[in-house]
Amino acid sequence: MDNVVHGRPYEVTKDGPRFRPCAPHGVLSRLGDKWTILVMSHLAIASGHRLRFSELKHGIDGITQRMLTLTLRNLERDGLVSRHYFPEVPPRVEYELTGMGASMLPALEGFTSWIRDNWPRMEECRNLFDLAKAEHG
């Protein structure tokens, strides 16, 4: 019989609990990359909830044109962002969160709040761990 912990199914075996890989790994990888949350957050607060590529690039410190292109393409592929092309001269492209992308924002808020609250302690723990490891070879 399968059980669930934090949304993840597992089975109880004679050797203990056993977790199976499942599709959400790809979703977690997407959300765990360096730029996805920043792009989604920027689109969430945009006036009219749409932004041009150049506005996104300007509003996200440190992102390169290539990384923004890849991030937007992946978010569009996952159905979290939609791309709107306007055949003008010069052509105009705008991006916005889809309904599914917008529905992810509360979960991202919880995740980023947890990071903000715990990051200093994590850094402290890492430093203590590394120091102890260096002292004991």
**3-state per-residue secondary structure call for the chain:** CEEEECCEEEEEECCEEEECCCCHHHHHHHHCCCCHHHHHHHHHHCHHHEEEHHHHHHHCCCCCHHHHHHHHHHHHHCCCEEEEEECCCCCEEEEEECHHHHHCHHHHHHHHHHHHHHHHHHHHHHHHHHHHHHHCC
Q: How far is CA 35 from CA 14, 42, 58, 87, 114, in A?
A: 42, 11, 13, 28, 18
- For the cut 60, the answer to whether the pLDDT of residue 82 exceeds it is yes
> What residues make up the domain containing 109?
28-135
Do 79 and 12 sit in the same domain of this protein?
A: no
Give backbone dihedrals phi and psi of 14, rounded to 5 degrees, phi first: -65, -20
Looking up tokens 């996200």 gives: 60
CB atoms within 10 A of CB 85: 9
pTM equals: 0.77
Longest dimension (CA), the chain: 67
Number of domains in the chain: 2
- Binned at pLDDT 50, 70 and 90, residue 23 comes out as low
- Binned at pLDDT 50, 70 and 90, residue 75 comes out as very high
pLDDT in the model for residue 63: 97
pLDDT in the model for residue 122: 96
Do 96 and 106 sit in the same domain of this protein?
A: yes
pLDDT in the model for residue 52: 95
Do 66 and 130 sit in the same domain of this protein?
A: yes
Do 88 and 49 sit in the same domain of this protein?
A: yes
Do 17 and 34 sit in the same domain of this protein?
A: no
Average predicted confidence (pLDDT) for the chain: 90
- Structure confidence by residue, pLDDT tens digits, 35-71: 999 999 999 999 888 999 999 999 999 999 999 999 9
Do 49 and 1 sit in the same domain of this protein?
A: no
Looking up tokens 């979703």 gives: 27
> What mean pLDDT is predicted for residues 91-116?
92
More confident residue, 83 or 91: 83
Do 2 and 47 sit in the same domain of this protein?
A: no
